[in-house]
Amino acid sequence: MTRPILEIKGLTTTLANSKATVLEDVSFSLQPGEVLGVVGESGSGKSMLALSVMGLLPKVIRRTAGYIILNGEDLTGSPPEHWREKRGRDLAMIFQEPMTALNPVMRVGDQVAEVLRRRGVPAEKARQETINLFMQVEIPSPEQRVRAYPHELSGGMRQRVMIAIALAADPKVLIADEPTTALDVTVQAQILDLLRKLQRERGLSLLFITHDLGVIAEIADRVLVLYAGRVAELASVRKIFDSPQHPYTRALLASIPQTKGPRGRLVTIEGAVPSVGTMPKGCRYAPRCTFRRDICEQEPPRLGIVGPSQAAACLQPFGFEQPQEEALA
Amino acid sequence: MSAVVSGLEASSQSPTWHAATRLLHNRSFLIGAGLVLAIALMALFADALAPFDPLRNSFRTRLLAPDGRYWFGTDHFGRDILSRVIFGARISLTIGILTALLTGIAGTLIGATAGFFRPLDNPVMRLMDALMAFPAILLAIAVAAVLGASVTNVIIALAIATTPHTARIVRASVLVVREQEFVLAARALGASETRLLFRHVLPNALGPLIVRLTYVFATAILAEAALSFIGVGPPPPAPSFGSIIAQGRDFIAEAPWITIFPGLAIIISVLGLNLLGDGLRDVLDPRMRT
């Protein structure tokens, strides 16, 4: 394996006042040109993970342990100014809400050009390059659209602008935080296709955050399943869907509505994600787990290798011989 | 949200343009703008409009009641009140505009600093609170008295008196805007803090300031009158609305026209500015948007 472009080791973030952990001991790596999907429910710490990597954690949350290594360089100890240098050059991010993530009083072309200019592209060239980028993200009549204000564009168009802005940074690592969640289903598919196309063409290393396993299946090479701030499972996308090892991953998969077979009640996971500060002592998923045993509540399970390119944090992973249907039934 | 992916007609109308269209349908803005425009034109073309020299004394025309020749009457020096009011608009509006401009700049700098750079918020705003504890007019009197009576000093005094409130308004709207996602998005692209403040936060936070400045403008005209009335305003013989009224004070029983007409001029300017401000507020205030 080549050297990872981004490596997270034992990342732990804590609420500054209550010492409650938001993310705990999160480790993973992102290879160049790879798409790593991060899945989890609301409150699982997905967005906090993204902000940690960007060095943009809100003031009330602190990184208390772990390393963030970008392209071989440890960023954890670096001053804010150095981190800022990385943003918009080596790191870029696409946000969930294209409605609110664009400056309403700036022409969208200027918002793209701003990023180019910061990389030292001269004004005239930046204008050309902006139109180029608009073409790459498949915005029709880019020459006119660069002069538009965000409110004049539809949600899908705005998200394309957001992607163009991120591409303008020509980042080593691109983080997409639920880029399709706020969009209509048809537009979602278009944006997803676009992102996948751009990722392949440019060999982008993409950290793709979502709560939608369908989206993960479409775009990711590997998947990181987060539960209540901890890694539940980390495996190739194929393994996640074919032989999930963590009960939580299974439950997530089982709760995807099926269009085939008899209709019944939607499968749900009982209970809710424990809130920050009220985490159970042992496995954080134990209270909702149907396979729970007494030892699960004693101490947190460590992320362990459970098969080729698959790791799960469970004391009793399912193993491969067990047919999947049985566990889902 | 619209599912239409490409509406091909790319009309490029800025938010400013949108606000402008809404303003043109706002009655209070139109009336206010009309009144202010009238006064402003009067001040601008005072030389052409005034029938007499506002400073020319004449014993023969002392304290004449309004008639066909002297529409607003004359004062105790025989000066034409109409001409003095027309020229007075010049000084009064100048004071209003420059005060609004000064307080706008100072208030924006102070308020934006306090609102955007968290550690400075408390020290800066507590200082502003302390200034605000003085009644504005008292503060203006004190400053004008210390600096001496002149148009410039009146402007400085009024700007100092109105800045704390302005700073507080700018700070409040900066606090709202800085938490919006596009600021985080710009930060995620490596924009520096100063760039964030001036390119992304401030342009989105200026609506309330514009409204505030129309009120400062009106307040300044009123305050100038008050300062003139108690003798710390622009020095005679140059006319301002306030100084004409102040000079008419001793003759208010025999020649009420000396005070009535500049008084009316103040009412019209202030009313116009307030209506203008109300209209702007209705259009620019996000809470009133539908």
Q: What is the pLDDT of residue A223?
A: 93
CA distance A108 to A92: 17
CB A309 within 8 A of CB A235: yes
CB contact under 8 A, A141 and B8: yes
Q: What is the pLDDT of residue B15?
A: 67
Contact A118/B at CB under 8 A: yes
Q: Find the radius of gyration of the CA atoms of chain B.
A: 23
Whether residue A18 is predicted with pLDDT greater than 70 in this model: the reply is yes
The β-bridge partners of A327 are: none
Contact B288/A at CB under 8 A: no
Collapsing DSSP to helix, strand or coil, B222 comes out as helix
Which of A22, A72, A73, A94 has its CA nearest to residue A52?
Answer: A22
| A85 — pLDDT class (breaks 50, 70, 90) | confident
* pLDDT, average across residues B199-203: 90
What six digits make up the tokens of A144?
């006119």
Percentage of chain A exceeding pLDDT 70:
96
CA distance B161 to B100: 11
CA distance A292 to A288: 8
Query: For B202, which residue in chain A has the nearest alpha carbon?
Result: A105
Averaged pLDDT score across all residues of chain A: 86
What six digits make up the tokens of A298?
């004693």
Q: What is the pLDDT of residue A302?
A: 83
Stated as kind and residue range, the H or E segment containing A69 is strand A61-70
Q: What is the pLDDT of residue A326?
A: 43
* pLDDT, average across residues A57-65: 86
Q: The whole model's pTM is what? A: 0.79
List B residues 192-251 in contact with A (Cβ-Cβ < 8 A).
192, 199-200, 203-204
CB contact under 8 A, A103 and B1: no
Of residues B165 and B7, the one with the higher pLDDT is B165
Averaged pLDDT score across all residues of chain B: 83
* pLDDT, average across residues B248-273: 87
Q: What is the pLDDT of residue B250?
A: 84
Q: What is the pLDDT of residue A319?
A: 63
Distance from CA of A160 to the nearest CA of B (A): 10
Disruptive mutation site among A149, A163, A165, A175 for chain B (greatest number of B CBs within 10 Å): A149
Which chain A residues are closer than 8 Å to B191 by Cβ?
Answer: 88, 114, 118
Collapsing DSSP to helix, strand or coil, A77 comes out as coil
Q: Find the radius of gyration of the CA atoms of chain A.
A: 21
CA distance B269 to B218: 7
Say which residue the tokens 């025309």 belong to. Answer: B61
Residue A228 region by backbone torsions, left for phi larger than 0, else alpha for psi between -120 and 50, else beta: left
What six digits make up the tokens of A190?
């278009």
Q: What is the pLDDT of residue A36?
A: 94
What six digits make up the tokens of B109?
């700098």
Whether residue A222 is predicted with pLDDT greater than 90 in this model: the reply is yes
Q: What is the pLDDT of residue B10?
A: 41
What six digits make up the tokens of B183?
């600021």
Whether residue B277 is predicted with pLDDT greater than 90 in this model: the reply is no
Which chain A residues are closer than 8 Å to B188 by Cβ?
Answer: 54, 56, 87-88, 91-93, 95
* pLDDT, average across residues B200-219: 89
> How large is the ipTM?
0.82
Disruptive mutation site among A93, A96, A103 for chain B (greatest number of B CBs within 10 Å): A103
Residue spans of alpha helices (H) in chain B: 15-23, 27-44, 46-49, 81-116, 118-133, 136-147, 151-178, 181-188, 193-195, 202-205, 207-229, 241-248, 257-284
Q: What is the pLDDT of residue A161?
A: 93
Whether residue B43 is predicted with pLDDT greater than 90 in this model: the reply is no
Q: What is the pLDDT of residue A166?
A: 92
- A87-91, B170-174, B232-236, B264-268: lowest mean pLDDT where? B232-236
CA distance B243 to B232: 10
The answer to whether the bond into A323 is cis (omega within 30° of 0) is: no
- The pair phi, psi for residue A170, each rounded to 5°, is 45, 60
For B241, other C-beta atoms within 10 Å of its C-beta total: 30
Which chain A residues are closer than 8 Å to B187 by Cβ?
Answer: 56, 87
Q: What is the pLDDT of residue B285?
A: 62
- A110-124, A174-188, A262-276: lowest mean pLDDT where? A262-276
The one-letter amino acid code at A253 reads L
Contact B173/A at CB under 8 A: no
What six digits make up the tokens of A77?
């100890």
* pLDDT, average across residues B216-242: 84
Whether residue B11 is predicted with pLDDT greater than 60 in this model: the reply is no
What six digits make up the tokens of A122?
């001269």
Q: What is the pLDDT of residue B69?
A: 77
* pLDDT, average across residues A23-37: 91
Q: What is the pLDDT of residue B74?
A: 78
CA distance A212 to A38: 10
Q: At what angle do helices A155-168 and A185-202 cross, to 10 degrees?
A: 20
* pLDDT, average across residues A226-244: 89
Stated as kind and residue range, the H or E segment containing A21 is strand A21-30
Residues 6+ apart with CB under 8 A from A235: A222, A223, A244, A245, A307, A309, A310, A311, A312
What's the pLDDT tens digit per position in B109-156?
A: 999 999 999 889 889 899 998 888 888 788 888 888 888 878 888 888
- A216-220, A259-263, B178-182, B221-225: lowest mean pLDDT where? A259-263
CA distance A251 to B223: 71
Q: What is the pLDDT of residue A321?
A: 45
Residue A286 is given by DSSP the state G
